[in-house]
């Protein structure tokens, strides 16, 4: 009888050990899988760089805006292109409270104090000035307006499939154009500029 009990005891003990071993192995395997996933995630982040121009991958470009016409308006615009859609995120400071026009103009030349070195509205398809999406037509640079708060800050997110970053198509490529912010609002009807007043900030879209 004693011997039987001993055998049961030994059996139970060894079963317990092998059970623990299995558990440990499973834990180690899980850790390895998580580690691999982390490495893969950080590698895919690395492939997104501002100079990336491989087709089919996300392109990014950051443009700084400088103040013009004796204003204090500065800011940043981040362009990204993903799957044929360009997203433009604009963050500005130093504005007067209220509505201000924002357009793409013809040339990435912000050298003159009034910003007029950037030329007129970018209009490669010879359309009238207007509201984006208007069936009567609009310039490819007619982004529209943004609203500055009481502290003079404004943000705007705009996206379109009618632009590209460096694709070379003259009707879509925004490289070499300028971002212009105006003193006043774009009325979206006056020709050829929307009667938006002076140019208070300018940034060239160049790498
Ligand atoms: Cu303009
Ligand atoms: Zn226009």
Instruction: Summarize pLDDT for 56-86 with one digit per residue, the tens.
Output: 578 999 999 999 999 999 999 999 999 999 9
Per residue in 152-190, pLDDT (tens digit) is 999 999 999 999 999 999 999 999 999 999 999 999 999
Structure tokens at 193: 């500029």
What is the pLDDT, as a whole number, of residue 131?
A: 98
Contact 66, 74 (CB under 8 A): yes
The mean pLDDT of 4-28, rounded to a whole number, is: 42
Q: Residue 23 has what pLDDT?
A: 41
Task: Say how many Å lie between the CA of residue 194 and the centre of ligand 2.
Answer: 7
Buried b / exposed e across 118-130, counting CB within 10 Å, b at 16+? bebbbbeeeeebb
Q: How far is the CA of 15 from the centre of ligand 2 (A)?
A: 80
Over residues 102-153, the pLDDT tens digits come to 999 999 999 999 999 999 999 999 999 999 999 999 999 999 999 999 999 9
**Residues in the 5 Å CB sphere of ion ligand 1:** 103, 180
Ligand 2: distance of its center to the CA of 124 in Å? Answer: 11
Which residues are registered as beta bridge partners of 188?
A: none
As beta bridge partners, residue 178 has 105, 204
Q: Which pair of tokens denotes residue 24?
A: 């440990």
DSSP code of 19? H
Comparing C-alpha atoms, which of 91, 134, 125, 121 is closest to residue 192? 121
Q: Confidence class of residue 10 from pLDDT cuts 50, 70 and 90?
A: very low
CA distances from 63 to 18, 50, 140 (A): 62, 11, 19
Euclidean distance between CA atoms 134 and 130, whole angstroms: 7
Instruction: Over range 23-44, report the average pLDDT.
Output: 40
Res 55: pLDDT: 55
Question: How confident is the model at residue 34, as a pLDDT?
Answer: 39
57 CA distance to ligand 1 middle (Å): 31
CA–centroid distance, 23 to ligand 2, in Å, is: 68
User: Using omega within 30 degrees of 0 as the cis cutoff, is the peptide bond preceding 192 cis?
Assistant: yes
């Amino acid at each position: 009888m004693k011997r039987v009990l001993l055998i049961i005891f030994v059996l139970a003990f060894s079963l317990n050990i092998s059970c623990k071993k299995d558990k440990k192995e499973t834990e180690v395997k899980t850790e390895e899988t998580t580690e691999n996933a982390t490495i893969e995630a950080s590698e895919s982040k690395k492939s997104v760089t501002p100079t990336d121009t491989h087709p089919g991958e996300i392109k990014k470009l950051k443009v700084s805006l400088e103040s013009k016409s004796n204003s204090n308006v500065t800011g940043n615009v981040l362009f990204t292109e993903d799957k044929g859609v360009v997203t433009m995120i604009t963050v500005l400071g130093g504005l007067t409270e209220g509505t201000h026009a924002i357009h793409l103009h013809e040339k990435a030349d912000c050298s003159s104090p009034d910003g007029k070195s950037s030329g007129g509205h970018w209009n490669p398809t010879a359309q009238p000035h207007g509201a984006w999406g208007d069936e009567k037509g609009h310039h490819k640079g007619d982004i529209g307006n943004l609203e500055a708060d009481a502290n003079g800050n404004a943000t705007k997110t705009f996206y379109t499939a009618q632009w590209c970053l460096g694709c070379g198509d003259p009707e879509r490529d925004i490289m070499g154009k300028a971002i212009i912010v105006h003193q006043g609002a774009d009325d979206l009807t006056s020709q050829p500029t929307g009667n938006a007043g002076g140019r208070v900030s300018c940034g060239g879209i160049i790498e």
